[in-house]
Structure 1
Amino acid sequence: MRNRWAILAILFFVRLTIAFQFQSVAAVAPLLEKTFNVGLADIGLLIGLYFTPGIVLALPGGAIGRTLGDKPTTIAALLLMIAGSLVMATTGIWGLQMAGRLASGGGGVLLTVQLTKMGADWFAGKEIATAMAIFVSSWPTGVAIALLVLPAIGTAHGAGAVFLAAAALTAIGIVLTLFYQPPPAASAVKAAAPTRLDPLALLAVIVAGAIWGLFNVGFAMIFSFGPSLLAERGWSIAAAGSAVSLVLWLSVISVPSGGFIADRTGRPLTLAIAASLAVAILLAWLPRSDTVLAILVLIGLISGHPAGPIMSLAPRVLAPETRAIGMGVFYTLFYAAMMLGPAIAGRLAKSAGTAAAALDLGALAILACPPLMWLFERIVSVRDRRAKS
């Protein structure tokens, strides 16, 4: 298979399996609470555990891919994800649930790093912004499908069936990976001695990773604790999941459209800042309003716009020879934020006695992004001035 758009479709589906598996816990959180006699704090910890391996694996993930190759690394990561789902599907012990979640997350981290690299291989220098916007949209697509499908499966067959469904979808990803081929122009890259990031570039990448992590923490609160919030109001699990999935389905449209608007206007950070402020306000409003569906629709239409501009920050300060290490730093910050965010949110929700506290934390996390965007621009400005002097 040598058509790059067909390759992108494969990468899109395979990455979708990560999001589907990630959401498998939050989609049936009320069921897990009853099955294992745990609270929202424990659910928040279990959700966040999925990203814990990223703190360790994000940096060496690229090196692992170079050693084993694209396809073997991808298949190994998918097998690790399946193993984690099977453990969670077959155990009634909470500690083993956590172990299975960690294993799944380890596979998801390796897969994220590898798929991003594979997509860049095919689209470098040609429509890469469009391709990456479509690629990123696989995450909300996977979460939205999970919110629609998994609550019904869990209600009918129990929590174990939910994790079996995640394993089955991941297995389809393995089949599709077998059709992947590297681009014709790809050549074996002899790793030269890695070039170190200069201090300002490193600082800029750290800030960019923090922005991406905080924004995703805020966004994750919607689909991680939104169903629990609606369940508190008397919604059924299936109805709550379907309502929250509106955000994800609409963001599938708003992510690529946001990238397009940013490119057309030439003001990506202005768009990202305005959209972030709007989403933060809507997140804080959601637990305090009865117009749930209208707010969810607005969040879906707006929340995807900052994704492209934020993802473009780190590459601005990374040369080709520093891109691997730089993106490793970027993803390490992202995974650290995504590990801590749901766990902290779960504890806050437990203390407050309502999932609304998690939504408030999400609003604060997104509200922190605009000042960090300003800081990033200042760092880049100083770096550019020093380069010219």
Structure 2
Amino acid sequence: MRNRWCILAILFVVRLTIAFQFQSVAAVAPLLQQTFGVGLADIGILIGLYFTPGIVLALPGGAIGRKLGDKSTTIAALLLMTAGSLVIAATDIWGLQMAGRLASGAGGVLLTVQLTKMGADWFAGREIATAMAIFVNSWPAGVAISLLVLPAIGTAYGAGAVFLTTGALSAIGIVLILFYQPPPATTASAAGSGRLDPLALLAVIVAGTIWGLYNVGFAMIFSFGPSLLVERGWSIAAAGSAISLVMWLSVISVPSGGFLADRTKHPFVLAIAASLVVAGLLAWLTRSDAVIAILVLGGLIGGLPAGPIMSLAARVLAPQTRAIGMGVFYTLFYAAMMLGPAVAGRLAKSAGTAAVALDLGALAVLACPPLMWLFERIVSVRDRRTQS
């Protein structure tokens, strides 16, 4: 298979399995609280544990993929994800739930880094923001599907059935990835130097921080949004369905943002404006009864910056530095996504409400625009030095 859009479709579906698995805890959080007798702080830790391996695995994950190859690395990652789901499904011990979550997260880390590199291999230099937006769109799609499907499965059959479902989807991903083929150009370039120059490294660090903070903010909606609505008297299923509106509408807004960024050539104007609006919506959601209206606006606007932000690293990475660069990028992302839910859960426990978590998310998104400006400054300096 050599059509890059067909390849992107495969990468999209395989990456969807990560989002589906990640969201499985938040989707049935009230059910887990009842089953295990835990609070919001424990749920926040369990959510964040999925990203904990990223701090130590994202950077070497790029090197592992470079050594073992795209297909072998992705299959190994999917096997880890499947095994982790099975461990969680088979035990009623909270400590083993955490161990299974870590195993699943380790697979998710390796898979995320490798799939992003594979997508950039096929689209670097041509429609990269559009392609990355479509690729990133697998996340809200996976989360939205899980919010609709998993609460119903959990209510009818129990938490174990939820995690068996996530394991089955990961196993399907193994079959799909067998159809992947690398682009011819990457084979020749893979043998080059894998070292990043200092300014490129700094730019990737800033880009990874932006992506991490934006996702922390956006993740508060679907991680703690269901609990917030349950506090207000909504049923678990109704809360999950309402929050899923954000993710379903993001399926439209994410590729729209990438398309607009490529066409207008002003990705930062789009990303900054959308970030400011999203921060406002997060703060408004905790203080208003207009839940559906806010969630609809969040879905329509919240996905716009995804493509522009995800294309940042590709702007400064050559084919031979792409694997290690994506490792750096995702190390920052995973650090933010590990700490964000855990801190939010602690604050929610102290305050006695999940609303505090969404306020934290608003602050995280507000930090993104100045970092976007910093990234542009670093790239400008690097370009001038390269040309001189």
**Cα contact 2:245–2:295 (8 A) shared by 1:** yes
SS where residue 187 of structure 2 aligns?
A: coil
Partner of 2:157: 157
Name the CA shift for 1:241/1:109 in 2 (closer, same or farther; >3 Å): same
Q: Say whether the 8 Å CA contact 2:10–2:176 is kept in structure 1.
A: yes
* One-letter code aligned to 2:22: F
Q: Distance in 2 between matches of 1:277 and 1:222?
A: 16
Cα 1:385–1:329, aligned 2, differ >3 Å: closer, same or farther?
same
Q: Distance in 1 between matches of 2:7 and 2:382?
A: 37
Range moving further from structure 2, 166-175 or 115-124: 115-124
Question: What SS does the aligned partner of 1:288 have?
Answer: coil
- Identify the residue that residue 4 of structure 1 maps to in structure 2: 4
In the alignment, what sits opposite 2:103? 103
Partner of 1:136: 136
Change (3 A) 1:231 1:169: same
Shift of 1:316: 2.7
Matches for 1:37-186 after TM superposition, within 5 Å: 37-183=37-183
Unaligned runs of 5+ in 2: none
Task: Give the match for residue 220 of structure 1.
Answer: 219
Flag the 1:190–1:237 CA change in 2: closer, same or farther, 3 A: closer
Partner of 2:362: 363
Using the alignment, how far apart are the partners of 2:169 and 2:8 within structure 1? 18
Change (3 A) 1:127 1:317: closer
Residues 323-355 of structure 1, C-alpha deviations (whole Å, 9 max, x = no match): 333222111100100000000000010001000
Shift of 1:126: 4.0
| Structure 1 stretches of 4+ moved >6 Å | none
Once residues 113 and 206 of structure 1 are traced to their aligned partners in structure 2, the CA distance between those partners, rounded to angstroms, is 15
Aligned in 2, Cα 1:10/1:322: closer, same or farther, shift over 3 Å? closer
- Cα contact 2:85–2:164 (8 A) shared by 1: yes
CA contact (8 A) 1:197 1:326 kept: no
1:323 corresponding residue in structure 2: 322
What displacement does 1:113 show? 1.3
Distance in 2 (alpha carbons) for counterparts of 1:46 and 1:128: 34
Deviation, structure 1 residue 79: 0.8
Seq. identity, %? 85
Deviations 1:294-327 (A, max 9, x none): 0000000000111112122223333444333322
Q: How much is the aligned-residue C-alpha RMSD, in angstroms?
A: 1.7
TM-score between the two structures when normalised by the length of structure 1:
0.95
Return the offset for 1:387: 4.4
Partner of 2:295: 296
* CA drift at 1:189: 4.9
The separation in 2 between residues aligned to 1:75 and 1:297, in whole angstroms, is: 36
Q: Residue by residue, what CA displacement relative to the aligned partner does 1:269-293 show, whole Å, maximum 9, x if unpaired?
A: 1111110000000000001111100
SS in 1 for 2:360: helix
Distance 1:79 1:374, change over 3 A: same
Mapped partners of 1:166, 1:113: distance in 2: 20
Q: How far apart, CA to CA, are the structure 1 residues paired with 2:315 and 2:121?
A: 18
Whether the 8 Å contact between 2:63 and 2:324 is mirrored in structure 1 is no
1:9 and 1:197, CA in 2 relative to 1: closer, same or farther beyond 3 A? Answer: same
130 and 262 in structure 1: CA distance in 2 versus 1, 3 angstrom threshold: closer
Q: Which residue of 1 aligns with 2:377?
A: 378
* Match of residue 201 from structure 1: 200
- Number of aligned residue pairs: 388
Secondary structure of 1:172 counterpart: helix
Q: What's the secondary structure of 1:244's corresponding residue?
A: helix
After TM superposition, give the deviation of residue 213 of structure 1 in Å.
0.4
Structure 1: 5+ residue stretches without partners: none
Distance (whole Å) between structure 1 residues aligned to residue 320 and residue 294 of structure 2:
44
Q: Deviation per CA, 1:197-234, whole angstroms, max 9, x where unpaired?
A: 22x33222211111110000000000000000000011
